[in-house]
Amino acid sequence: MKSKQAISFLLKISIVALALFFLYDQLNSNASFKKFDLNNILLTLKNNFSVLVLVIFLMFLNWYVESLKWRFLVSKIEKISIKTSLRAVFSGITVSSFTPNRVGEYAGRVFCLKHADRIQGVLITVIGSMAQLIITIVFGLIGILLLPNLMPSFDSFINDLEFSYPIILFVVILLSVLLVLLFLNASVFTVLLSKFRFLKKFSKYSKVFSFYSSSELLEVLLYSFARYIIFTAQYFILLNIFSVEVSYINSMILITTMLFVISVIPTIAIAEVGIRGSVALYLFSLLSNNSIGILSATFCLWIINLVLPALIGIIFIFTLRFFRK
């Protein structure tokens, strides 16, 4: 018993140490941070303090919605309070901060479950992540489709695609509809997996995909959509704070495209700021020469939406249960 307690404590200390190390290393070594003056960023935020409070509030709202979504999903295997769900979400953010493609998020959450099967908990968390990814892909495809409108050579681009553009539009709509329909009928995966004999011993886990009706999965998509709207609103507000003068519609085209690109690039969450900054700078430079403002807004969004929640999550890491009695 004491050995389990010792191992559990060492694991928690290791998670906290890794999270802090990766965060410090990223802040200390990222070249994009050297392109702007931190004092100027702080001064700008100070002069827009009430707006900054709004952006931070939206961060908490964002993760609160995610907590509602995860509690709703995990209720099929264990009833948990919103407090426990919030604790699981913030713990997951801390663990995911130093793991590739945020896979640590699954472990960070399921160790908050008291009785439920943890592998089922991981698969349920994957379902929630897939819903978020589908929203990102659908709106990203729309953004990419509209992106040529913002390019200086748009007229020649349209002439080159005079006949193929309608086909591209059809493919985008078809792919988006298929992704949503496939997700809403996730139970088909249980049926497909049951066809493989060597997977029958894992039927307990493949059945997870049949836990939810289409209406319940639609609710999960709506939770994900709400998070997407909150996140894009945060970015737009920060761009305005740093004087990146881009209209709301145009900024949404660029932001949705950026999020799509980032979603398909393998990365570690802590290292995302460099990639986000590069992609954002490339896209927003189509409409704005304020490179410092673009990078500053991207940096602040990363600090508020990832670093701050990861630091909050450190508190909850020590409540995780790696071993059960």
Please state the domain extents for the chain.
Answer: 2-317
**Lowest-confidence region among 97-101, 113-117, 225-229:** 97-101
Q: What pLDDT does 85 receive?
A: 93
Per the model's pLDDT, the better-predicted residue between 219 and 33 turns out to be: 219
pLDDT tier, 116 (very low <50, low <70, confident <90, very high otherwise): confident
Q: What pLDDT does 161 receive?
A: 54
**Lowest-confidence region among 88-97, 190-199, 283-292:** 190-199
User: Is there a contact between 125 and 89 (Cβ–Cβ < 8 Å)?
Assistant: no
Mean per-residue pLDDT of the chain: 83
Count other Cβ atoms within 10 Å, centred on residue 93. Answer: 29
How far apart CA 2 and CA 278 sit, in angstroms, is 48
Closest by CA to 26, choosing from 297, 256, 267, is 267
Per the model's pLDDT, the better-predicted residue between 223 and 281 turns out to be: 223
pLDDT tier, 269 (very low <50, low <70, confident <90, very high otherwise): very low
Instruction: Tell me which residue has tokens 């990223």.
Output: 26
User: Is there a contact between 306 and 269 (Cβ–Cβ < 8 Å)?
Assistant: yes
Q: pTM here?
A: 0.87
Q: What pLDDT does 270 receive?
A: 47
What percent of the chain has pLDDT above 70? 86
**Lowest-confidence region among 35-49, 51-65, 72-86:** 35-49
User: Is there a contact between 234 and 305 (Cβ–Cβ < 8 Å)?
Assistant: yes
Concatenated DSSP letters of 298-325: HHHHHIIIIIHHHHHHHHHHTT--SS--
Q: What pLDDT does 240 receive?
A: 93
pLDDT (tens digit per residue) in 141-186:
899 888 877 766 544 545 555 556 677 778 888 888 898 898 998 8
Count other Cβ atoms within 10 Å, centred on residue 190. Answer: 16
pLDDT (tens digit per residue) in 5-35:
788 778 888 888 888 887 777 666 655 555 5
Q: What pLDDT does 75 receive?
A: 92
